[in-house]
Amino acid sequence: MNESFALLDYLIFGAYAVLIISVGLYVSRTKKGEEKTAEDYFLAGKTLPWWAIGASLIAANISAEQFIGMSGSGMAAGLAIASYEWMAAITLIIVGKYFLPIFIKQGLYTIPEFVEKRFNTSLKTILAVFWIALFVFVNLTSVLYLGAKALDTVMGVGNGETIIPFMIGLALFAAAYSVWGGLSAVAWTDVIQVALLVIGGLITTFIALDHVTPDGGAIKGLAHIYDVAGDKFHMILKKDNPEFANLPGIAVLIGGMWVANLYYWGFNQYIIQRALAAKSLKEAQKGIAFAGFLKLIVPLIVVIPGIIAYVMYTQPAGTTAIDGVADVFGKTGGGIDVDRAYPWLISTFIPVGLKGLVVAALAAAIVSSLASMLNSTATIFTMDIYKPYINKNAGNRQLVTTGRITVLVALVLATSVANSLGSIPQMFQYIQEYTGLVSPGILAVFLMGLFWKKTNVKGAIVGVIASIPVALALKFLPVEMPFLDQMFYTLLITMVIIVGISLSTGQGDDNPKAIPLLKETFITGKAFNISAYIMMIVLVVLYTVFW
C-alpha cells in the first residue's frame, strides 16, 4: 500500500466509486413489467440532452491516453501536443455541421451501418470486424494499461507490481454499471465524471504550479515555467526540434492532424454514438459545440502538468520546490519515462484528502472511456455481426443479452493483452501513429462516400484495402517522414485510388446509393453558429500568441 495515500483518500475514492455505480444502475433502470429495448441499451432511448452529450463526448475522449500519455508528450514536446485538443474543437464543429445531419437522418445505430446503406454489406462487415479488433486490442488495452500504471504510481507500490491488480479492478469497475445499464448508464454517469475530471485536473495543475518555484504561488509558477522553458510553449515546432517527427511544424495545421481528428471525431463509434442518441439533431449539434468548448481547456489540465514536470526534472537543485526529481523518472529505451509525469505530480504534491479527489478524477477519466468503448464494441458486434449473421430474428431481449455478454468478453480479452504493452515511451504518440496506419483509408472511404456521388462499392473496397500497403510503404521508405505526413499522403493517395476505380468500373453516372446533398440538410441553429465563430476566434488568438 502506498503510504502517501491516506485513509481519508481511500474513503473519498471509495465514495466516488459507490456514487458512479449507484447512479449508473439507477438511471438505466426500467419500469416494472417493461423490457429494455435495443434502442434503450445501445442509444439510451434517444433521450440525451445537449449538456449530457457534450459531457459524455469529453468523458469518453479524455482518458489515460490524455492524462498520462499527453502529459508525457507535454513533458517531451511541450504545448505543441495541444494541437490534438485545440484542432479537435474545430473538427467537432465540422462534424456537427456536415456529418451529423446525414447520420441522424439515416437513423443509424452504428457507423458500419452507414457503410451498408451507402455501399454494401460486405464492406460494412469488413469495417465492423476491424473496429471491434481496434477497440479491444488497441483502445481498451492502452487505457487499461496506462490507467493501471498511473494508479500503481499513486496508490500502489510504484514499481509495477500492482499494475495487473489495478487493471482487473478498473475492468470490474467499468463493467459494474455499463454491462447492465448500457449507454444510458454510461452517458449519465459521464456528466458526473467529466465534472470530476475537470475539477481534479485543475486542482493538480494549480497545486503543481504552486510548487514549481521555492517561493510558491500558481501565477509565479506559470511565469517561471514560461521563463525557463519558453521553448516548450511553441505550437509550431521547427525542424531542429527533437519532437519534429511527431509534430511536423506547419504541416500539423494543414496536413495529417486533420486526418487523425476527422477520423476520430467523425467516424469513431464510441464517440459519435453519443450524438446518435440525442433527442434531436439540434440537441446533438449543441452538445457537440459544448464539447468543443471543453476541448479548449483540456491542455490546461493535461499538457501544462507535463511542462511543469519537465521544468522540475531539468532545473538545477534549489531552483524548484523539490530536489532529486531526476531520480523518479527512471530510464526507458535510453530516455526518461515521461509517462510517469502526471501520476508523479499527484503522488508528490497533492495533499491528503484532495489526493483522493484527484485520483477519483483520474479514475473517472479512465473508467468513463472504458465504459464507452465497451458499449460501442457491444453495439457494433450485436447490430452488425450478431443480428445479420447469427440470429436475424433476434428480439430486444436477445440483442440486449448479447450486448452484455460482448462487454464481458471484450473486457476479458483486453485485460489479458494489456500487460503485454510493456513500457512504451510516449504512449499517446504511439497510439496515434499505429492507429494512423488504418485511419486514412477509412476516412477516405467515408469522405468520398458522403460527398462524391460517383463513388461505388468497388472503389471503396479497393481503396480501403490498398490504403494499408500504401501507409506501410510510406512508413518504411528510406526517406524520413513524420507519421502525420504519412497519414495525410495516404489519405490523398487512397482518394485518388477510389476515384480511379469508381470511374473505370462505373457508368459515369451518380451511384444509386449516393447521399442526396440538399442545402437544407446543413442549416444549423443560431447557438451552434455563434459557438463556432467564438471557437475559431479563440483558436486564432491561441495560435498567434503561442506560434
**How much is the pLDDT for 333?**
39
C-alpha cell at 67: 492524462
**How much is the pLDDT for 147?**
82
Q: Which residue has the cell 523539490?
A: 322
Q: Are the beta carbons of 103 and 267 closer than 8 angstroms?
A: no
**How much is the pLDDT for 159?**
62
Q: What is the mean pLDDT of residues 81-103?
A: 92
pTM, two decimal places: 0.85
Q: pLDDT of 337-380, one tens digit each?
A: 677 778 788 878 888 888 888 888 888 878 888 888 888 888 88
- 84 contacts: CB under 8 Å, gap ≥ 6: 70, 257, 260, 261, 432
Query: Phi/psi at 438 (nearest 5 deg)?
Result: -115, -25
**How much is the pLDDT for 336?**
62
Whether the pLDDT of residue 320 is over 60: the answer is no
Backbone CA torsion sign across 58, 61, 64, 65: negative
Among 20-29, 348-357, 389-398, name the most confident range: 389-398
Q: What is the mean pLDDT of residues 95-100?
A: 92
Sequence letter at residue 386: Y
Whether the pLDDT of residue 1 is over 50: the answer is no
**How much is the pLDDT for 241?**
82
Q: Are the beta carbons of 365 and 64 closer than 8 angstroms?
A: yes
Query: Phi/psi at 17 (nearest 5 deg)?
Result: -60, -45
Cα–Cα distance, 497 to 99 (Å, whole number): 23
Cα–Cα distance, 417 to 349 (Å, whole number): 33
In degrees, rounded to 5, the angle at the alpha carbon of residue 84 between the alpha carbons of residues 296 and 94 is 75
Whether the pLDDT of residue 539 is over 50: the answer is yes
**How much is the pLDDT for 422?**
60
Whether the pLDDT of residue 101 is over 60: the answer is yes
Q: pLDDT-derived band of residue 41, with 50, 70 and 90 as boundaries?
A: confident
**How much is the pLDDT for 296?**
93
User: How deeply is 245 buried, as exposed, middle or buried, from its count of CB atoms within 10 A (0-12, 13-18, 19+)?
Assistant: middle
Q: pLDDT-derived band of residue 498, with 50, 70 and 90 as boundaries?
A: very high
